[in-house]
A and B are shown apart, each in its own frame.
Chain A
Amino acid sequence: LSSFTFPFTRESGVPLSSVLPRMLTVYPQTKSYFAHWKDLSPGSPPVRKHGITIMGGVYDAVSKVDDLVGGLLTLSELHAFMLRIDPVNFKILSHCMLVVLSMLFPEDFTPQVHLAVDKFLALLALALAEKYR
Chain B
Amino acid sequence: MVEWTDQERTLIANIFANLDYEDIGSKALARCLIVYPWTQRYFGGFGNLYNADAIMNNPMISAHGVKILHGLDRAVKNMDDIKNAYATLSELHSEKLHVDPDNFRLLSDCLSIVIASKMGYDFTPDLQAAWQKFLTVVVFALGRQYH
Residues of A within 8 A of B (CB): 21-22, 25-26, 42, 95, 98-100, 102-106, 109-112, 114-115, 118
Decide yes or no: A99 and B112 within 8 Å by CB, A22-B125, A109-B117, A114-B35 being known contacts: yes
Contact of B45 with A by CB under 8 A: no
Q: Chain B's interface: helix, strand, loop or mixed, by majority?
A: helix
Binary flags per residue of B111-147, CB closer than 8 Å to A gives 1, else 0: 0111011111101011011001000000000000000
| B123/A25 in contact, CB under 8 A | no
Interface size on B, residues (CB 8 A): 23
* Residues of chain B with a CB closer than 8 A to A106's CB: 117-118, 120
Give the A-binding residues of B (Cβ under 8 A). 30-31, 34-35, 52, 55-56, 109, 112-114, 116-121, 123, 125-126, 128-129, 132
Question: With A22-B128, A99-B128 known to touch, is A111 a contact of B34 (CB < 8 Å)?
Answer: yes
Is B109's CB under 8 angstroms from A26's CB? no
A118 to B35, CA, bound (A): 8
